[in-house]
Amino acid sequence: MSVLEAVARQGVVVLALVLGLWSPARAAEPWRAVARVATSEDRALLERVRGQSSDLPVVLEAEAGPSMDESPGGAWREAERLASRKDARAVLWFTREAAALRVSVAAPRTGHLFVRSARVEGAPETLTWSVGAEALALAVRSALRAVDAGEPLGDVVAPPPPPPVVAAPPPVPAAPEQGVEAPVDGAFVQVGVHAALDGYHSWG
């Protein structure tokens, strides 16, 4: 074996060791994000988001259902319920407003809500539609990457927790009244008997 071959083999071994040590350290545990899908356009947008976020350790799961904005209690409450039910760190949904599309990414664990809008015209998968859809997908990727880093984007919108309920102290029982006990009739009889025996009379 020549010197060059030996050096090359050593280099391969060192590279394999480095990659073996580096990969587990860098591999992040996958986590879940749920996307509410209410229309066929929402499903097409979710596929764009998946394409832009393929390098992130996030599993994007579609959840078919009505629009989040129409949920009882509002979209944020629905996002909290969905995240709790699916054990998801992020919930995203799309809202069509005429020629514009709005994407919302909620991080219920920290109370953050990230919102972005883009002009998205035309039918899904057409050229004009794709331009706006890619812009939204990139915005969602940034939001998901921030959630993965533990620094969610957007504003804190979660209401503060309710104050603790303080139980009323139990009523203090009233102290028994200290009355003067009435003398026993026998005592008066006994005193009267002694007075009579001693010759004492109240009338003289």
pLDDT of residue 11: 53
Q: Is the pLDDT of residue 110 over 80?
A: yes
Least confident range from 6-15, 31-40, 68-77, 175-184: namely 6-15
Q: Is the pLDDT of residue 202 over 90?
A: no
Instruction: Give the model confidence (pLDDT) of 149-191 as tens digits.
Output: 999 999 998 765 556 666 667 777 766 666 555 555 554 444 4
DSSP state of 199: T
Nearest to 31 by CA among 116, 97, 103, 88: 88
Question: Positive or negative, the Cα torsion across 97, 124, 48, 40?
Answer: positive
Q: How confident is the model at residue 10 (pLDDT cuts 50, 70, 90)?
A: low
Q: How far apart are CA 123 and CA 53, in angstroms?
A: 23
Nearest to 35 by CA among 94, 100, 111: 94
Structure tokens at 110: 């920290």
Nearest to 33 by CA among 97, 86, 110: 86
CB-hemisphere CA count at 13 Å for 79? 26
Q: How far apart are CA 176 and CA 173, in angstroms?
A: 9
Range 39-61 average pLDDT = 96
pLDDT of residue 157: 85
3-class DSSP assignment, residue 102: strand
Structure tokens at 171: 């009523």
Instruction: Give the model confidence (pLDDT) of 113-138 as tens digits.
Output: 999 999 999 999 899 999 999 999 99
Instruction: Write the DSSP string, 49-77.
Output: HHHHTTTSSEEEEEEE-S-GGGSTT-HHH
pLDDT of residue 28: 74
Q: How far apart are CA 23 and CA 10, in angstroms?
A: 20
CA dihedral (163, 74, 87, 38) in degrees, to 10, reads: 180
Range 74-92 average pLDDT = 96
Q: Do strands 58-64 and 31-37 pair parallel, antiparallel, or not at all (unpaired)? A: parallel
Average pLDDT score over the chain? 79
CATH architecture of 29-153: 3-Layer(aba) Sandwich (3.40)
The residues spanned by each domain of the chain are: 29-153
Percent of the chain with pLDDT over 70: 67
pLDDT of residue 131: 94
Q: How far apart are CA 60 and CA 112, in angstroms?
A: 19
